[in-house]
Amino acid sequence: MTIQDINKTYSRIIEWLDRKELKNAFDGLQGLIAGSGHYDFQDKLNELQETYKYMLRYRMDGIQDPMQEQIYRQIQASTYELADMVKQKALAVDSPLYFYSRRRSLKQSCAVSYTYLYQQLSSEPDIQAAHADISAKQQLEAASLTLFNKIWISGPLTTEEVCELQAILQDTEMPESVGCQVVSALLLSLEEYFDKEKMTLLFDAASSQKQEISVRALIAILLVLYKYRKRTSLYPFISDRMHALAEALPSFSQTIQTIILRFILSRETEKISKKLWNEILPGMMKLSPTLGEKINLKDLNPEQLGDEMNPEWQDSIFADKELSRMMTEFSELQMEGADVLHSTFVHLKNYPFFREIGNWFLPFDAGHSVLTSGFKGNQNELHLFEQVTQTSFMCNSDQYSFFLSMLQLPESARTAMMGQFDGQAAEMLRQNQEELQEKHSKVEQIAGRYIQDLYRFHKLFPSHLDFDDIFTYTLDFHHLAEVKPFISDAVSLTAIAEYYLRKNYFQDALNIFEELIQQDNENDILYQKAGYCRQMNGDLEGALKDYLHADLLNPNSKWIIRRIAVCYKTLKQPDKALEYYHRYEVLNPDNLSVQISIGHCHLELKNYNEALKYYYKVDYLDTTSHKAWRPIAWCSFLTGKYDQARKYYKKILEAQPNTQDFLNAGHTEWVLQNNKAALAYYKQAVEKEGGDWFKFYKQFEQDIADLKNAGIEEEEIPLMLDQLRYML
């Protein structure tokens, strides 16, 4: 059986188990065992099948057994676990994947017990010596990496091993970094296969008094719950431990919410990187005071269904300002905690330090031997660079990259750099650090940095393709059954939904707004936001339905009234659009955009004289943009006021004419029997299209009916067009 066959068979088994098709799963497992030759699992498979057959027989005979549901769950869970074990053993010898190759190469170095490593890491004389002796420090760091690797490549943990690891996690004297590494190793191992004992250890870590360990463990728990969401319900202890954590940690729900928001923000990383390289940096290179183009896209139809949010929502969601300068926008992203530095450090992960997988998750320590040995005891230099990293939003991984890159500079260059940091610069660094602490809570900072560390690993680790990239998934943790009880309240869900909304993840936001509407169907704001999400997803009919519901609940919202009007107009129902535009007109009679939109509705309804009234009003009140000239000219043509149409087209052509302007001016001259002028305008229209006759004719063809209504004989049309061709 090839490696590809093993993986395909395993995937099918998991799919069958997810659908609770146990007979198919058993058959698939039988094939996997036979194909891989690992018959030592046969007895376990036979036992599971026999138990399942007995359960089915009792069920079919109508025998009531209060333990039946529990037995069914245990069979399913055990089958999942058996499939994992068979796959692991089948791939152990030959798989080139990084996990299996490292498991083979590290087998000897990780043969020591957890108790032995615990003793190494907790030896007080060794810890004290490490501060003074670089070799002692290196020995402790090596022990920590061995612990990480041993957990990562381990199989299902025994009861004894669980107790040994619990002792490490519960030791309050143990360096915090050790507990953090235990958590990351457990997470990485659980990404390979599910082990309920390792999951139990994550819950133990989440109960730690050390916040860094606790928050990291909660992040790991959420990721594991998401990855195995089809099977976690088979383990009742998970729900029990979640509730126990909620009782033990006063801010449990708030921390979960913070983590969820941070994962939503991580989705922005690639967009931010592209924006940085494609817009911000090039923009800085060519920025000039003359920047500013005049765009007139709304002249013909200013009431397109825009994407502006209701200003009234700003009380409940973050203000998304129109930033006047690109650097200000970048600064805002930084202050929000967005991962703005990912692209900066992409090429700074090739140092030997990052060859050890455990170092990608290591909490930053300026006293790490790889740094202190490089700075050769220059504590002032080390302290300064540490200040820089602490105030620059760098995650742990990037802080190591920064220090390692500084070590590549000649000592003279580093000294010169230090000389530029006077007392004022140091004060600025201190103020930046205080601002960061005020803006983001400790939990936000820990979660943000650890999620960025995880992001770096899954995107930049040399063998990252051998790992399941968690950041390619939706990661909608709020839908997980084990998480829902703690964030299903309206306040938590609203915060998550509005963060999705702000970041333009409209479907994710809509899913939550729909859930909130089920809880409170008298809240017009929820219907507004649901409608807005549908609109931005292109579902105008669904958006209109929500907007109409919001209007019933709050008939005085100008934003909603106008949205409904524009929806009807976009859906080609100008008569209904007019009803709502007139309602808006009562509330805001001087809005010229609405006035011209009313005119457009009358135009579509062929109420040309009524349309002209509104266009005249706009033209009278708006003495600068002249956006009403084109509709006045065309309506004048349609109503037989050809001299007036000619007057307006003359003004339009003196400004910035487009193809349609030349075309309509030509129509006007033709109807006024000025054929030569008509031909000249038609020729300019073709030239405006780059000489493309077919583009010109496509537009001309749409106006033939109007030309006939204006008195142009049908047989004259091909003659005019042929004459035009001869002129081109």
pLDDT digits (tens, 9 = 90+) for 231-255: 999 999 999 999 999 999 989 999 9
Which long-range contacts does 574-578 make (Cβ < 8 Å, 24+ apart)? Answer: 574/600, 574/601, 574/602, 574/604, 574/605, 575/601, 575/605, 577/601, 578/602, 578/605
Q: What is the DSSP string of 329-392?
A: HHHHHHHHT--TTHHHHTTS--SGGGGSGGGGSPPP-TT-HHHHHHHTT-HHHHHHHHHHHHTT
Instruction: Look at residue 698 in the predicted model and tell me its pLDDT.
Output: 94
pTM of the model: 0.82
Higher-scoring residue by pLDDT: 415, 457? 457
Contact (CB, 8 A) for 304 and 535: no
Percentages of the chain per state (helix, strand, coil), in multiples of 5? 75, 0, 25
pLDDT per position as a tens digit, 572-616: 999 999 999 999 999 988 889 899 999 999 999 999 999 999 999
Beta strands in 384-501 (DSSP E): none
Predicted confidence at residue 348, as pLDDT, reads 86
Q: Which among 543, 109, 551, 549 has a CA at the least distance from the CA of 358?
A: 109
Distance (Å, whole) CA 211 – CA 209 = 6
Average pLDDT, the chain: 86
Of 512, 504, 503, the C-alpha closest to 339 is 503
For residue 390, the model assigns a pLDDT of 65
Torsion of CA 140, 142, 147, 149, to 10 degrees: 160
pLDDT at 590: 81
pLDDT class of 30 with cuts at 50, 70, 90: very high
pLDDT value at position 291? 26
Q: What integer is the mean pLDDT of 159-165?
A: 96
Which residue is associated with the tokens 């219907």?
Answer: 527
Residue 398: both structure tokens together:
């990037």
Q: If pLDDT is split at 50, 70 and 90, which confidence band does 213 have?
A: very high
Rounded mean pLDDT of 689-714? 93
Phi-psi region of 422 (alpha: psi -120 to 50; beta: other; left: phi over 0): beta
pLDDT reported for residue 284: 40
Give the residue ranges of DSSP H helices in 503-591: 506-519, 524-536, 540-553, 558-570, 574-587
Round to whole Å and give the CA distance between 587 and 52.
70
Q: Are 366 and 388 in contact (CB under 8 A)?
A: no
Give the length of the chain.
Answer: 728
Q: Three-class SS of residue 265? A: helix
**Over the stretch 252-311, which tens digit does the pLDDT of each residue have?**
999 999 999 999 999 888 877 766 555 544 544 443 332 222 223 244 444 566 667 776
Give the pLDDT confidence score for residue 345 in this predicted structure.
Answer: 80
Domains with residue ranges and CATH for the chain: 3-95 (no CATH), 113-258 (no CATH), 628-728 (1.25.40.10)
Residues 6+ apart with CB under 8 A from 448: 262, 265, 337, 395, 440
Instruction: Write the CA distances from 4 to 7, 9, 389, integer angstroms.
Output: 5, 9, 45
Average pLDDT over residues 42-60: 94
**pLDDT for res 58:** 87
pLDDT at 427: 60
Cα dihedral: 300, 301, 302, 306 (round 10): -140
Would you say residue 131 has pLDDT above 60? no
Q: What is the pLDDT of residues 399-413, one digit of tens each?
A: 899 888 888 878 777
Place of tokens 């000294």: 415
Tens digit of pLDDT for each residue in 57-88?
Answer: 988 888 877 888 999 999 999 999 999 999 99
Query: Which one-letter DSSP state was computed for residue 95?
Result: -
Q: Is 523 helix (H, G, I), strand (E, B) or coil?
A: coil
The Cα 455–Cα 344 span in angstroms is 14
Structure tokens at 535: 């609109």
Residue whose token pair is 């497992």: 29
**What is the C-alpha to C-alpha distance for residues 458 and 460, in angstroms, rounded to an integer?**
6
Distance between CA atoms of residues 351 and 408, nearest Å: 10
